[in-house]
Amino acid sequence: MTTYATLNPRQRLLMGPGPSTVPDRILRAIGSPTLGHLDPQYIQYMDETCQMMRDVFVTKNQLTFPVSGTGMAGMEAILVNLIEPGDEVIVCINGVFGGRMKDNMQRCGATVHVVEVPWGQTFTDEAIAEAVSKHPKATMLGIVHAETSTGALQPIQGISKIVHDAGMLLAVDAVTSLGGHELKVDDWNIDAIYSGTQKCLSCPPGLSPVSFSPAAIEKMEARKTPSQSWYLDVSMLKNYYTGGGASSGARAYHHTAPINMVYALREALQIVLEEGLEKRIARHRTVHLDLRKGLEELGLTYIPENSLSTLNCVATPEGINEAAIRTRLLNEYDIEIGGGLGVFAGKAWRIGLMGYGATHRNVVTLLSALKECMSST
Ligand SMILES: *Cc1c(COP(=O)(O)O)cnc(C)c1O
User: Among 14, 72, 143, 201, which residue has the most ligand 1 atoms within 8 Å of its CB, making it the best to mutate?
Assistant: 72
In angstroms, what is the span from residue 291 Cα to ligand 1's centroid?
Answer: 23
Boundary-marking domain end, from 240, 273, 306: 273
Q: Lowest-confidence range among 44-48, 118-122, 236-240, 373-377?
A: 373-377
| Ligand 1 atom at shortest distance from the alpha carbon of 73 | 9
The stretch 14-33 carries a mean pLDDT of: 98
Q: With CA atoms as reference, report the closest residue to 172 among 241, 114, 92, 116.
A: 92
- In terms of domains, do 256 and 299 share one? no
pLDDT tens, residue by residue, 212-237: 999 999 999 999 999 999 999 999 99
- In terms of domains, do 290 and 177 share one? no
How do strand 338-339 and strand 348-352 relate by DSSP bridges? antiparallel
Residue 23 to residues 1, 45, 222, 355, 358, Cα–Cα distance (Å): 37, 20, 43, 10, 12
Write down the mean pLDDT value for the chain. 96
In angstroms, what is the span from residue 168 Cα to ligand 1's centroid?
Answer: 24
Question: Does some domain include residue 3?
Answer: no
Q: How confident is the model at residue 152 (pLDDT cuts 50, 70, 90)?
A: very high
In angstroms, what is the span from residue 20 Cα to ligand 1's centroid?
Answer: 12
- In terms of domains, do 86 and 184 share one? yes
- In terms of domains, do 298 and 210 share one? no
The stretch 100-110 carries a mean pLDDT of: 98
Q: How confident is the model at residue 86 (pLDDT cuts 50, 70, 90)?
A: very high
- Percentage of the chain with pLDDT > 90? 95
- In terms of domains, do 131 and 244 share one? yes
Boundary-marking domain end, from 234, 250, 273: 273
pLDDT at residue 249, rounded to an integer? 67
Whether the Cβ atoms of residue 196 and residue 74 lie closer than 8 Å to each other: yes
Instruction: State the distance between the two ends of the chain, measured CA to CA, in whole angstroms.
Output: 42
pLDDT exceeds cutoff 90 at 377? no
The stretch 316-333 carries a mean pLDDT of: 95
Question: Does some domain include residue 5?
Answer: no
Boundary-marking domain end, from 273, 300, 335: 273
pLDDT at residue 304, rounded to an integer? 80
- In terms of domains, do 250 and 282 share one? no
In angstroms, what is the span from residue 40 Cα to ligand 1's centroid?
Answer: 32
Total structural domains in the chain?
2
The stretch 202-217 carries a mean pLDDT of: 98
Half-sphere exposure of residue 197: CA atoms within 13 angstroms, side-chain side: 27
pLDDT exceeds cutoff 80 at 22? yes
Q: Residue 327: how many CB atoms within 10 A of its CB? A: 13
pLDDT tens, residue by residue, 236-285: 999 999 876 656 668 899 999 999 999 999 999 999 999 999 999 999 99
pLDDT at residue 244, rounded to an integer? 66
pLDDT tens, residue by residue, 159-170: 999 999 999 999
In angstroms, what is the span from residue 78 Cα to ligand 1's centroid?
Answer: 14
Question: Does some domain include residue 2?
Answer: no
* Dist. CA 268–CA 129, nearest whole Å: 38
CA 136 vs. chain centroid, Å, equals: 29
User: Nearest residue CA, atom 5 of ligand 1?
Assistant: 71
328 annotated ligand-binding residue: no
Cβ neighbours of residue 68 closer than 8 Å, sequence gap 6 or more: 206, 207, 231, 255, 257, 258
Question: Does some domain include residue 6?
Answer: no
In angstroms, what is the span from residue 5 Cα to ligand 1's centroid?
Answer: 32
pLDDT at residue 1, rounded to an integer? 85
* Dist. CA 210–CA 65, nearest whole Å: 6
- In terms of domains, do 261 and 346 share one? no
- In terms of domains, do 148 and 297 share one? no
pLDDT exceeds cutoff 90 at 118? yes
Question: Does some domain include residue 128?
Answer: yes
The stretch 93-97 carries a mean pLDDT of: 97
Question: Does some domain include residue 325?
Answer: yes
- In terms of domains, do 160 and 186 share one? yes
User: Among 75, 153, 175, which residue has the most ligand 1 atoms within 8 Å of its CB, making it the best to mutate?
Assistant: 175
pLDDT at residue 250, rounded to an integer? 80
Question: Does some domain include residue 219?
Answer: yes
Q: Provide the domain limits for residue 222.
A: 24-273
- In terms of domains, do 181 and 194 share one? yes
- Percentage of the chain with pLDDT > 70? 98
pLDDT exceeds cutoff 90 at 178? yes
| Ligand 1 atom at shortest distance from the alpha carbon of 311 | 15
- In terms of domains, do 34 and 84 share one? yes
Ligand 1: residues with CB < 6 A are 18, 70-72, 97, 144, 146, 148, 173, 175-176, 196, 205
- In this prediction the pTM is 0.97
pLDDT tens, residue by residue, 290-319: 999 999 999 999 988 889 999 999 999 988
Residue 195 maps to which CATH number? 3.40.640.10
Residue 330 maps to which CATH number? 3.90.1150.10
Question: Does some domain include residue 357?
Answer: yes
- Peptide bond before residue 66 is cis, with ω within 30 degrees of 0: no
The stretch 358-370 carries a mean pLDDT of: 98
- In terms of domains, do 248 and 307 share one? no
